[in-house]
Structure 1
Amino acid sequence: MSEPSPNWERDVLEKLALSAVQEQRRSRHWSILFKTLGFLYLFIVLFMVAGWFRSDGVSLPKAHTALVDLQGVIAADQASADSVIGSLQSAFEDGKTKGVILRINSPGGSPVQAGQIHDEIKRLRALHPRIPLYAVVDDICASGGYYVAVGADKIFVDKASIVGSIGVLMDGFGFTGTMQKLGVERRLLTAGENKGFLDPFSPLDPKQQAYAGQMLEEIHGQFIAVVREGRGKRLKETPEMFSGLVWSGEKSIQLGLADALGSVESVARDVIKAEDIVDYTQQEGLVERLAGRLGATMAKGWSPFAQAGVKLR
């Protein structure tokens, strides 16, 4: 066994001192890194507050066209009024927005959700009279989608777009014949003679059917009034215009249901005169989507009207 070096104590102390110095250097490097990240975060926040960046970190041009998408069925758990309205408000409130394009690709949906979006469009146009809003149709702008579109200053379509379907429907199923064949008895207890309104497992009541038809006519009348108000003298009414039929984009221009052919890019470039397009469409997170669907499911479970499905579609 070899004897320890006479200077082993000094060697140990030197190693300990060197280790302490290295540890201090590592701590200093981490400190510098975290401080740098902190200053960078603060820098970005200040720029966002100053309006140089959008909330998603995208740099905004001095003047731009704001884009808001309305895609799919208009419903509380899909293309909801809350998300579309929030997107439109953000677009109009940005001081660099020169014009707003609402891009629509929707077969329709809830008359309530569509009406709320339409009313907010009118409010925002009155509040910001210098900022025009144009609807641009992709594949389809029918029923509730068209209800929203008529609130715009102008409607642009593709020649092959599907436009119209100015009508209201209430759909559902009747299972009484099937139940009889299977020997199933329906036991429905209600307080109020019409509480089981249009129950799919009970025979259709003529009085309730007449009442439903009257209600649909009322909502249809509201739809027609909105179209006439929005399109004004541009509308060339025909006997079939409010029958629920649809037309091609080219034909819809001839009928005054739309104004001209155009895409998002052409409207931004040639009409608004601001080629830079910034998308303001709100993207709902997983929690919001689940909450919206849960609410819609609960509403369907409690309401016979929701089960029957009153739609601008």
Structure 2
Amino acid sequence: MDVKTVASRIPRIGDRSDRTDVVAVVRLHGVITPSGSPFHRGVINLQSVESALTRAFAHDRLQAVALLINSPGGAPTQSGLIAERIRQMAAKKQDVPVLAFCEDVAASGGYWLACAADEIYAHSTSMVGSIGVVSGGFGFTGLLERFGIERRLHTAGEYKARLDPFSPEKPQDVEWLKKMHAQLHELFVEWVKERRGDRLAGTEELFTGDVWLGGKALDLGLVDGVGNFREVIAKRFPDAEITVAEPKKPLLARLGLSAPAAAGAMLDAVVQRVAWSRYGL
């Protein structure tokens, strides 16, 4: 066999992608927070997922984009920004469906992200929903008094120091927070209704902040089917190649460095642990 014949049988770079249909996968795993970490990738925000979404939607022979979601929620603004970005990219690929697959949990902001998809699937054991708003904090006034620490806070503006954790809680501040929660909840409900439409069951039970397993979520219209990513994609797109668009690693992770045991990093870890623990994870 001559050299020319051998060379003709070697696939050229780009040949496979030119011939093969693609299902692009984007993993949305972690707590949704604006404060990304340079050390680990256990958080979701627009900055951390933008590059992966761009690569996922860029394939020429794109058959579908699959979002693998495992998130207990988090920051509403980041949830909204990511969902809007997904819809912006999907609008440029009008014949390409976006499918969301709920893993352990797609709750609160995690479900907000799922609603950016055209179709949502859940495992029978997935926890789905939590269409509500929650915030929490700590009060340290007693701790300061115990150690004889005086809190000195100077502001310009009557409400500048609302809900300061080192000051006694004021009823008017709590009332203001509840109004903010109600407004955010209304926006969440509007988004779910916009994206799910008449697939939703006609019950206000949906918007109480409760969470359901996959089968009940299907009955309520929160998801379109019960199944896992592999089986659904194999049935819908049997000839497609699956390619994962991973977010870029943070700088220190690329360098192989670990997070220092700093107070800020430890506090972030506690906040994330609390978010997951609400769902027994």
Distance 1:85 1:207, change over 3 A: same
Task: Tell me whether 1:179 sits opposite 2:144 in the alignment.
Answer: yes
SS of residue in 1 equivalent to 2:49:
helix
Alignment partner for residue 167 of structure 2, among 194, 202, 223?
Answer: 202
Identity %: 40
Structure 2 unmatched ranges of 5 or more = 1-11, 37-42
The separation in 2 between residues aligned to 1:189 and 1:105, in whole angstroms, is 42
Query: Partner residue of 1:114?
Result: 79
The separation in 1 between residues aligned to 2:190 and 2:95, in whole angstroms, is 26
Report how many residues are paired. 244
Query: Partner residue of 1:71?
Result: 29
The separation in 1 between residues aligned to 2:167 and 2:71, in whole angstroms, is 33
Name which one, 1 or 2, has greater alpha-carbon Rg: 1
Distance 1:61 1:146, change over 3 A: farther
State the Cα distance separating 1:266 from its structure 2 match. Answer: 1.4
Q: Which amino acid aligns with 2:173?
A: Q
Q: Is the 8 A contact 1:268 1:274 kept in 2?
A: no
Counterparts of residues 17-96 of structure 1 (less than 5 Å) = 47=13, 51-52=14-15, 62-76=20-34, 77=36, 78-96=43-61
CA-to-aligned-CA distance 1:177-234 (integer Å, 9 cap, x gap): 2333333322211111211111001011222211111111111111110000111000
CA-to-aligned-CA distance 1:225-278 (integer Å, 9 cap, x gap): 000011100001423321111000111000000010122211221123444211
SS of residue in 1 equivalent to 2:99:
strand
Distance 1:187 1:153, change over 3 A: same
Alignment partner for residue 62 of structure 2, among 72, 86, 97?
Answer: 97
Counterparts of residues 116-265 of structure 1 (less than 5 Å) = 116-265=81-230
The separation in 2 between residues aligned to 1:61 and 1:278, in whole angstroms, is 14
The separation in 1 between residues aligned to 2:117 and 2:169, in whole angstroms, is 41
State the Cα distance separating 1:285 from its structure 2 match. Answer: 3.2
Q: Which amino acid aligns with 2:161?
A: G
Structure 1 unmatched ranges of 5 or more = 1-45, 54-58, 301-306
The separation in 2 between residues aligned to 1:288 and 1:95, in whole angstroms, is 31
Counterparts of residues 277-292 of structure 1 (less than 5 Å) = 277-287=242-252
The separation in 2 between residues aligned to 1:61 and 1:105, in whole angstroms, is 32
The separation in 1 between residues aligned to 2:248 and 2:198, in whole angstroms, is 37
State the Cα distance separating 1:60 from its structure 2 match. Answer: 7.9
SS of residue in 1 equivalent to 2:206:
coil
Runs of 4+ in structure 1 off by over 6 angstroms are none
Q: Is the 8 A contact 1:98 1:274 kept in 2?
A: no
Distance 1:106 1:179, change over 3 A: same
The separation in 1 between residues aligned to 2:151 and 2:19, in whole angstroms, is 64
The separation in 2 between residues aligned to 1:200 and 1:285, in whole angstroms, is 32
Root-mean-square deviation (CA), in Å? 2.7
SS of residue in 2 equivalent to 1:241:
helix
State the Cα distance separating 1:121 from its structure 2 match. Answer: 1.7
State the Cα distance separating 1:118 from its structure 2 match. Answer: 0.8
Distance 1:239 1:67, change over 3 A: same
TM value normalised by structure 2: 0.79
Distance 1:195 1:220, change over 3 A: same
Q: Is the 8 A contact 1:108 1:146 kept in 2?
A: yes
The separation in 1 between residues aligned to 2:142 and 2:159, in whole angstroms, is 22
The separation in 2 between residues aligned to 1:61 and 1:206, in whole angstroms, is 65
Distance 1:195 1:274, change over 3 A: farther
Distance 1:210 1:60, change over 3 A: farther
Q: Which amino acid aligns with 2:199?
A: R
